[in-house]
Amino acid sequence: MNLGERLFELRKSKSLTQDEVVEKLNVTRQTVSKWETNQSTPDFDKIVPISELFEIGVEELITGKIKEEKQEQTEEQKENVITKQEAKEKSAKVVSGSIFIYIVSIAFIMVAIPVTHGNPIIVSSIFLILIGWATARIIKNYMSMPKFEKTKEEKKEEKIIKQINGIIGSICVALYFIISFTTMAWHVTWVIFIINGLICQVVKLIFMLKGDEKDE
């Protein structure tokens, strides 16, 4: 893009007429027209006023270099931005995968020791590794997700999810103490809190999938 084309594009981007440019730069309309058609170039003493008028740097005005770099950065940023729908789909996949890992880990610890008579330390270590992996996946997913403006419907759903998970949490705490004091199996009943986390994630996943169906 040559200087004349750049001046024309800058004027249009600012929604200015040639007459307005004439008035602000104190030149003739013919001069502005010649600049934009590349029949002549602005005098040296007009370069800075033109740059100030269009709110750009002198280098950008003359070479267009900075502007092109900004455009490249903008295009690169657009490529890295994901839509709300894509974010929901990604979250649904991560959460559903983590739920599966939670279920496998709980099933593993319930079966490994009493059925296979495995070493309790090794079994517990594998169980904790699986739980930690699933939890890390969920935390990483929510921390890496871009922030989107929530609709009224999404805010309402989020409130409902918190209320449901709050009720589930209270029930699980009550069950934990009741079962623990009744059986005195404190070394086992703490699994209830893992199940609580699992149920909470299932609730979130259900609402995510419900939202996807509405979008479709």
- What is d(CA 61, CA 89) in angstroms, rounded to the nearest whole number? 44
Contacts of 46 (CB under 8 A, 6+ apart): 25, 27
List, for residues 156-175, the tens digit of each pLDDT value.
888 888 899 899 889 989 99
Same structural domain, 113 and 193? yes
The tally of domains found in the chain comes to 2
Sign of the CA dihedral running 106, 107, 113, 119: negative
pLDDT of residue 148: 67
Same structural domain, 71 and 154? no
Same structural domain, 88 and 64? no
List, for residues 45-99, the tens digit of each pLDDT value.
888 988 898 888 888 888 876 544 455 545 544 544 567 677 778 888 888 888 8
Same structural domain, 42 and 125? no
Could you tell me if 212 and 92 are in contact, meaning their C-beta atoms sit under 8 angstroms apart?
Answer: yes
pLDDT of residue 30: 92
pLDDT of residue 83: 72
Same structural domain, 118 and 141? yes
pTM, to two decimals: 0.47
Contacts of 111 (CB under 8 A, 6+ apart): none
Model confidence at 191: pLDDT above 70: yes
Residue ending a domain, choose from 24, 58, 78: 78
Same structural domain, 151 and 205? yes
Range of 13's domain?
Answer: 3-78
- Dihedral through CA 167, CA 106, CA 95, CA 125, nearest 10? 120
* Cα–Cα distances in angstroms (integers) from residue 6 to residues 38, 49, 60, 115, 174, in the given order: 10, 15, 10, 78, 71
Q: What is the CATH number of the domain that holds 29?
A: 1.10.260.40
Same structural domain, 102 and 128? yes
pLDDT of residue 42: 87
Same structural domain, 60 and 87? no
List, for residues 94-153, the tens digit of each pLDDT value.
888 888 888 888 888 778 767 777 777 888 888 889 888 988 988 888 887 777 677 777
- What is d(CA 204, CA 186) in angstroms, rounded to the nearest whole number? 29
List, for residues 1-11, the tens digit of each pLDDT value.
788 888 888 88
Residue ending a domain, choose from 78, 111, 143: 78
Residue ending a domain, choose from 45, 78, 111: 78
Model confidence at 216: pLDDT above 60: no
Same structural domain, 112 and 7? no
